[in-house]
């Protein structure tokens, strides 16, 4: 009697036992204009983003606690968010602070206020009551960098961690992206929620480079390497959306230089952006059609296997679950 052939183990989809407790990018910082409200899909539903008068960003659940009006079509009044339906006000902590009809705000009239940060040209929200690690960043302040930030136009129907897993997949970089990569396991430093490692790589665009990488949670990769005498930074990050979909963002950066008379920084950033677009375009058709399972790994997949274990063990939560829908 023949034994049925079984495929390997899939990832548990986001939403089961919650969503990974990560910092997720929701918008370009330049999109969040003072006095305006943005609505974004996030986790199992929707959130709103706005800035206070001092420019501080905030991310909250999107639906009024009165009758569920969508606050993304509301108004920012001073430092508060005003519902479009009955003009209930919500302060920067997400609590209803004023009802024009004269009633006292009910004690439970509270939106979920996500921990929020602005970093590397993006607005981030952490999925949890309190962040488990610092928001992804480069080791030079944003104010000292030339930043190029863009949203991948190709939303993809996969778990956000599959893009993250590419950072562990040496076979993929060699076969699909034409990159030769080598690393020494001694160059890998694993912490509770981040991983640092060093790759020695050769890319079609940049030739031989030493790339310093930090992996954050299960959705963000930041890197830096030298491009001549100039440091070049890159980030590839993804956001979890309803229905096990994800949205990607790319950041390229290099230090500002007032003496850069020949526009070297602009050239370096243009080359980096072209590289990022190429790699992304090569990955999107794969991610749109993949039915991922850990099935037949080989000796070349040792680092990939570590990444799979990292993702499967990563903690999940969804404290805002009922308020996002």
CATH number at 106 reads 2.102.10.10
From 30, 57, 27, 58, select the one nearest 42 (Cα to Cα): 27
Last residue of a domain, one of 126, 159, 179: 126
Q: Which of 126, 153, 172 is the last residue of a domain?
A: 126
- Domain assignment present for 210: yes
Contacting residues for 28 by C-beta, under 8 A, at least 6 apart = 121, 122, 123, 149, 150, 151, 249
Q: Looking at the domain assignment, is residue 69 inside a domain?
A: yes
Classify residue 227: in a domain, yes or no.
yes
pLDDT of the residue at 154 = 82
Find tokens 């009802």 and name the residue.
99
Kindly state whether residues 59 and 162 are assigned to the same domain. Answer: no
Do 147 and 284 lie in one domain? The reply is yes
For residue 261, what pLDDT is reported?
Answer: 63
Q: How far apart, in Å, are the Cα atoms of 21 and each of 68, 137, 317?
A: 26, 17, 6
For the stretch 166-171, contacts whose Cβ atoms lie closer than 8 Å and that sit 24 or more positions apart, written own/partner, are 166/283, 167/213, 167/215, 167/221, 167/307, 168/303, 168/304, 168/306, 168/307, 168/308, 169/301, 169/303, 169/304, 169/307, 170/300, 170/303, 170/304, 171/300, 171/301, 171/304
Q: What is the pLDDT of residue 259?
A: 77
Co-location of 115 and 161 in the same domain? no
Residues 84 and 23 in one domain: yes
Same domain, 176 and 44: no
Distance between CA atoms of residues 241 and 246, nearest Å: 5
Same domain, 99 and 50: yes
Q: Which structural domain range is residue 117 located in?
A: 19-126
Residue ranges of the alpha helices (H) in the chain? 160-165, 170-177, 264-289, 302-313
Question: Do 68 and 161 lie in a common domain?
Answer: no
Distance CA 296, CA 38 (A): 44
Residue 147 belongs to domain with CATH number:
3.90.380.10
What confidence score (pLDDT) does residue 99 get?
A: 98
Q: Does any domain span residue 134? A: no
Cα 99–Cα 103–Cα 104 angle in degrees, nearest 5: 90
Residues 304 and 157 in one domain: yes
Has residue 137 been placed in a domain? Answer: no
pLDDT tens, position by position, for the chain (325 residues)? 677 788 898 899 999 999 999 999 999 999 999 999 999 999 999 999 999 999 999 999 999 999 999 999 999 999 999 999 999 999 999 999 999 999 999 999 999 999 999 999 999 999 999 999 999 999 999 999 999 999 998 899 999 999 999 999 999 999 999 998 888 888 899 999 999 999 999 988 889 999 999 999 999 999 999 988 899 999 999 999 999 999 999 999 999 987 776 688 888 999 999 999 999 999 999 999 999 999 899 999 999 999 999 999 999 999 999 999 9
Q: Are residues 174 and 102 in the same domain?
A: no
User: Quick check: is 61 in a domain?
Assistant: yes
Position 9 in a domain:
no
Whether 239 and 107 map to the same domain: the answer is no
> Other C-beta atoms within 10 Å of 16: how many?
10
Residue 4's pLDDT is what?
78
pLDDT of residue 44: 97
Nearest to 234 by CA among 203, 261, 263, 258: 203
Position 241 scores a pLDDT of 97
**Predicted local confidence at residue 1, as pLDDT:** 61
- Residue 159 placed within a domain: yes
Do 168 and 305 belong to one domain? Answer: yes
Q: Which pLDDT belongs to residue 52?
A: 94
Kindly report the pTM of this predicted structure.
0.96
SS3 19: strand
d(CA 90, CA 98): 7
End residue of a domain, out of 126, 161, 194: 126
Looking at the 3D structure of the chain, how many domains does it have? 2
Same-domain check for residues 191 and 164: yes
């Amino acid at each position: 009697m023949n034994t049925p052939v079984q495929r390997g183990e899939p990832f548990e989809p986001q939403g089961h036992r919650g969503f990974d407790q990560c910092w997720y990018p929701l918008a370009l910082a330049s999109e969040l204009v003072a006095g305006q409200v943005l609505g974004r899909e996030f986790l199992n539903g929707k959130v709103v983003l706005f800035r206070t008068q001092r420019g501080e960003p905030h991310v909250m659940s999107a639906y009024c606690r009165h009758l569920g009006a969508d606050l993304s079509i509301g108004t920012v009044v001073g430092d508060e968010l005003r519902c479009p339906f009955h003009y209930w006000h919500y302060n920067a902590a997400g609590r209803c602070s004023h009802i024009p009809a004269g009633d006292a705000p009910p004690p439970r009239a509270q939106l979920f206020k996500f921990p929020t940060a602005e970093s590397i040209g993006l607005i981030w929200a952490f999925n949890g009551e309190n962040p488990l690690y610092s928001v992804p960043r480069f080791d030079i302040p944003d104010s000292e960098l030339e930043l190029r930030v863009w949203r991948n136009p190709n939303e993809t129907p996969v778990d956000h961690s599959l893009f993250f897993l590419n950072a562990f997949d040496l076979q993929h970089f060699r076969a699909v992206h034409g990159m030769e990569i080598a690393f020494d396991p001694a160059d890998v430093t694993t912490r509770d929620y981040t991983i640092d490692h060093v790759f020695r790589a050769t890319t079609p665009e940049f030739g031989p480079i030493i790339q310093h990488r930090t992996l954050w949670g299960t959705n963000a990769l930041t890197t830096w390497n030298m491009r001549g005498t100039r440091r070049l930074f890159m980030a590839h990050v993804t956001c979890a959306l309803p229905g096990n979909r994800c949205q990607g963002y790319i950041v390229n950066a290099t230090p500002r230089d007032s003496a850069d008379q020949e526009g070297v920084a602009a050239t370096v950033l243009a080359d980096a952006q072209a590289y990022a677009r190429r790699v992304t375009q090569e990955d999107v058709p794969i991610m749109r059609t993949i039915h991922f399972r850990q099935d037949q790994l080989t000796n070349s997949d040792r680092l990939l296997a570590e990444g799979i274990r990292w993702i499967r063990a990563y903690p999940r939560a969804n404290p805002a679950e009922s308020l996002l829908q």
